[in-house]
Chains A and B, each alone.
Chain A
């Protein structure tokens, strides 16, 4: 363990802890923008700079490891000034048309502007202009809103192992893009979208069918695709899924794949079955639930009486819940009277 003081408060943390993590563990807030707890620290945004006794320059707390006896100040007037300058610089190169941005309610830049109380900006000047054209169907890339925090680049490389994007160009013209500025062509896991602190990266299918006056809610549930069982959050408004997100708190750390993150629109597909159907002649025709259930029970009973219960078989579902499968096998075993129940475990 290493002992240090932060703002005069004694803090004890394991060695190799960064000053930022140590401060947070002591309940001290240091603003950050490029920092992400699941990614290697980058140190680029400089918002988390702190003063350390005997180090003449300011150091980024997200990259600086603690050392014994270190004396850290996180809230001096100088730091406040520098942080304000950094925010102003960022905002001077950001389209601050938040009313037209789909990420306004989920934007770290916005939040920090409020937190650091940056209300006026004396630094104005050229702003980067890019068109948002990217032909991929999943991810909207609005590079004018990009603050080059590098989280997307890191997550793509460190977590996903893909490296589909990186920094290109230099100076003010620096930008994050796929090789040769082509359209994004990757696994579309959307990890980059998940970690983007602004509206630079968004799901293209998000917010489809927004309606006025319907309640918004976020429901934690489990992805319905493969057996990994990633925790996801369905953001819904009324009867629409507006987007799927994933929380870092859960075991999957917020990471998803293309299906889990972007493949949700089947739920509200117009092709969903909405009425019970019975085959009459060649056609399947809509009937009432009563009729469908009565008819099914009748036919199953008839089979059972005529040919015996073991001529009936049921397939449970690897797609359904435990409760549904349990009831289904109970139904097959108890009501139909056969153990002919299986599902596609082998397929």
Chain B
């Protein structure tokens, strides 16, 4: 045993824990102890949890660092720990077959991590770990060496824009708040991440909560807020727990509380749990929710920065936006602005999901092409199917087609093609995805999440959804398409808040780029074979072996036939559930 230091890092984000990270962690703890390693290693031996590093599909990911040599393992279960300790730690020989493969490196190599830099690197439950990576240095600098206007100037120069969706320049927002005179101002961190499939904010708070706290404190100091709120979904129990822990630690070290760092400035942060309403991610609805009202948006203007929480000037920033702040202060505006494009600076975190091989959380410089994201970082399409489109921006976003794969991902470029950066959802679709169905899916979501306040959103999205439903069961008409487009545009322009204004985007962008798919549905065809009501199932008598599997799977008794003889399907009884198709091992059930 010659190792001088041993460090084990186990991914313990929500994804990691779901894959058994806590069990792996326990196994390391107990077995390292049992092996007496702790006492024998000169510089120390530690096993600790780290936040998500993005590639959740390969959890549990474990780093074993022996004397600064790091090896990363994938798919680790607790019963594999023993061998890791024996062979790698004691024996000095990494377990080759468990190490991460090339795709893990491909996934990471083209990323640039600013916000996620320390996620997956430090123990999120330890403020010392954060301080160990320069944490709270920025806050000290701002509180002790910079005038509020200087801080705001740095943020303005950095070109940082809101990561929550709209991309409003952060420094400018802070300046507006700074200029508003009031006896009370607030800063709110919007951690009400509601887009289906998005988990950027959750990962940041789980993986590096102090970076958000530090960002909030810097903001509060620069425009004069004494109270901050983190509005976070109650469905994020781990993030909430780590946030509370981090807040306590920050208070103990006087990064929060009274007379912070001896400057005479008081600032503290309260946590407000959201109850799962998507619309509460909209800033005015979020404010209403904190005030104890039903989360319903209010018309703007007045903007929160003028009249926000309890009618006071309020800055609302997204988690990712705030997590960028300490790095900008530490490294300077120029450093930050060196990433990205002319109008979209820095990096952006995306949740890359859908039909892509490496799904997970990624951070890329603004301006990276979709092709790089999907085919290099994401490793291409699952099962090597044909790429069809990528949907960005969640339910408020739009679809982007293959011919636009070389588009640079930034605020302007995506807006130009009818989509948005949004909070960073990115769903890859392949040839099996029906675009009408995709639009319907998102509209179902926005309709059921509409707060009900304004007519276009409450009833308009319902009518849009009904038209889409009609189309997907083959009952749509050419007039329906006209009606769909017209209503979508009216809902877009007449709705009260961002939810309603953007809800028609999935419809409008699919109509724009995949009109032929809509038209096919009008003729009773679903080219992607996803809309079951439009399919006809048949049994190929030649190929059928008469095994009876489809007969057993059919819920309506539509399939008949004797054993070992070709079966037959009664179209009258068929409900097009597809169970026979999925069951047949001999490809003798046809679908058209």
Indicate whether A41 reaches chain B with its CB closer than 8 angstroms: yes
Quote the shortest CB–CB distance from B381 to chain A (angstroms).
33
Per a CB cutoff under 8 Å, which of B448, B486, B496 touches A60?
B496
User: Bound complex: CA of A189 vs CA of B157, how far in Å?
Assistant: 57
User: Bound complex: CA of A209 vs CA of B447, how far in Å?
Assistant: 44
User: Bound complex: CA of A126 vs CA of B463, how far in Å?
Assistant: 8
Q: Once the chains bind, are A92 and B447 in contact (CB under 8 Å)?
A: no
Query: Which residue on B lies nearest to A57, using beta carbons?
Result: B493
User: Bound complex: CA of A126 vs CA of B453, how far in Å?
Assistant: 18
- A57 with B501: in contact, given A122-B483, A150-B453 (CB under 8 Å)? yes
Q: Once the chains bind, are B294 and A148 in contact (CB under 8 Å)?
A: no
User: Bound complex: CA of A8 vs CA of B277, how far in Å?
Assistant: 42
- A92 with B463: in contact, given A44-B454, A148-B458, A171-B452 (CB under 8 Å)? yes
Which residues of A from 25 to 49 have beta carbons under 8 Å from B? 41-46, 49
Q: Once the chains bind, are B494 and A123 in contact (CB under 8 Å)?
A: no
Question: Which residues of B sit under 8 angstroms from A78, Cβ to Cβ?
Answer: 493
Question: Which residues of A sit under 8 angstroms from B496, Cβ to Cβ?
Answer: 43-44, 46, 60
Quote the shortest CB–CB distance from B587 to chain A (angstroms).
40
Query: Which residue on A lies nearest to B297, using beta carbons?
Result: A43
Quote the shortest CB–CB distance from B559 to chain A (angstroms).
34
Per a CB cutoff under 8 Å, which of B301, B447, B462, B494 touches A46?
B494
Indicate whether B289 reaches chain A with its CB closer than 8 angstroms: no
- A65 with B487: in contact, given A92-B459, A171-B462 (CB under 8 Å)? no
Indicate whether A93 reaches chain B with its CB closer than 8 angstroms: yes
Indicate whether B422 reaches chain A with its CB closer than 8 angstroms: no
Interface SS majority for chain B: helix
User: Bound complex: CA of A46 vs CA of B456, how far in Å?
Assistant: 8
Indicate whether A125 reaches chain B with its CB closer than 8 angstroms: yes
Quote the shortest CB–CB distance from B219 to chain A (angstroms).
26
Interface segment out of the listed A79-87, A96-104, A231-239: A79-87
Size category of the B interface is 35 or more
Q: Once the chains bind, are B455 and A90 in contact (CB under 8 Å)?
A: yes
User: Bound complex: CA of A236 vs CA of B348, how far in Å?
Assistant: 68
Q: Once the chains bind, are B451 and A89 in contact (CB under 8 Å)?
A: no
Which residues of A from 225 to 261 have beta carbons under 8 Å from B? none
Indicate whether A331 reaches chain B with its CB closer than 8 angstroms: no
Quote the shortest CB–CB distance from B318 to chain A (angstroms).
21
Question: Which residues of B sit under 8 angstroms from A167, Cβ to Cβ?
Answer: 294, 296, 451-453
Question: Which residues of A sit under 8 angstroms from B590, Cβ to Cβ?
Answer: none
Query: Which residue on A lies nearest to B467, using beta carbons?
Result: A125
Taken residue by residue from 199 to 231, chain B's Cβ proximity to chain A (1 for < 8 Å, 0 otherwise) reads as: 000000000000000000000000000000000
A-B contacts besides A49-B494, A82-B490, A175-B452, 12 pairs, CB < 8 Å: A46-B456, A58-B494, A63-B298, A63-B299, A65-B301, A85-B487, A85-B490, A90-B455, A125-B462, A147-B455, A170-B279, A173-B452
Lowest 10 A-B CB distances belong to which pairs? A174-B452, A43-B299, A63-B299, A89-B459, A172-B462, A85-B490, A125-B466, A44-B453, A171-B448, A171-B450
